[in-house]
Amino acid sequence: MKRLFAVLLLAIALPVQAGDPAGLEVRDAWVPEAPPNARVLAAYMTLVNHGERERVIRSADAPGFERVELHLSKMQDGLAKMIKQERITVPAGGERVLAPGGYHIMLIGVQERPTAGDTVPVTLNFADHPPVVVEAEVRKRGAMGGHMHHHHH
Ligand SMILES: [Cu+2]
């Protein structure tokens, strides 16, 4: 039943991405290609809220994964840790960047590992807004090398 519900939501949600009247825009959604033995992948994107109300992501779904969680990476005692989040907010008139080293969507228990060039449809479930389906492009991790370095400075 849960799966059927998700499929129905997907069908309803698809037009939302194209012309969302509430002004939520998703840019640059991507998933780093994981090594062959990886069970877990991450999805990153920039969420831009052109509306006048804060948007709150409460959960996410993606087909082909056992579980999807909202995470925040943090340095604690010199170690990088991932902390499960109950929500990720997108401020009114602002943006929320999901990127390596920060907020991300954790795709857990991959059934068939996607490779560069594939897309992973990630459904974002909002507290007060219809779900939005984001087509995240799988990219090779190496392409981000210089970019990640930049963030440390
Ligand atoms: Cu994580």
Following CA atoms 78, 143, 28, 120 in sequence, which dihedral angle do they give, to the nearest 10 degrees? -90
Distance (angstroms) between ligand 1 centre and the Cα of 138 equals 17
Per-residue pLDDT of the chain (153 residues; tens, 9 = 90+): 555 555 555 544 444 444 455 689 999 999 999 998 999 999 999 999 999 899 999 999 999 999 999 999 998 889 989 999 999 999 999 999 999 999 999 999 999 999 999 999 999 999 988 999 999 999 998 655 444 444 443
Alpha carbon of 106 to ligand 1 centroid (Å): 5
**Which pTM does this prediction carry?**
0.79
How close is the Cα of 12 to the center of ligand 1, in Å? Answer: 28
CA distance 60 to 132: 9
- Terminal alpha carbon distance of the chain: 48
Q: How far is the CA of 66 from the centre of ligand 1 (A)?
A: 14
**Domains of the chain, CATH where assigned:** 2-151 (2.60.40.1890)
Task: Using the mean position of ligand 1's atoms as its centre, give its distance from the Cα of residue 88 in Å.
Answer: 13
CA–CA gap between residue 50 and residue 62 (Å, rounded)? 25
Both tokens of residue 151? 């963030």
Closest among 10, 21, 29 to 53, alpha carbons compared = 21
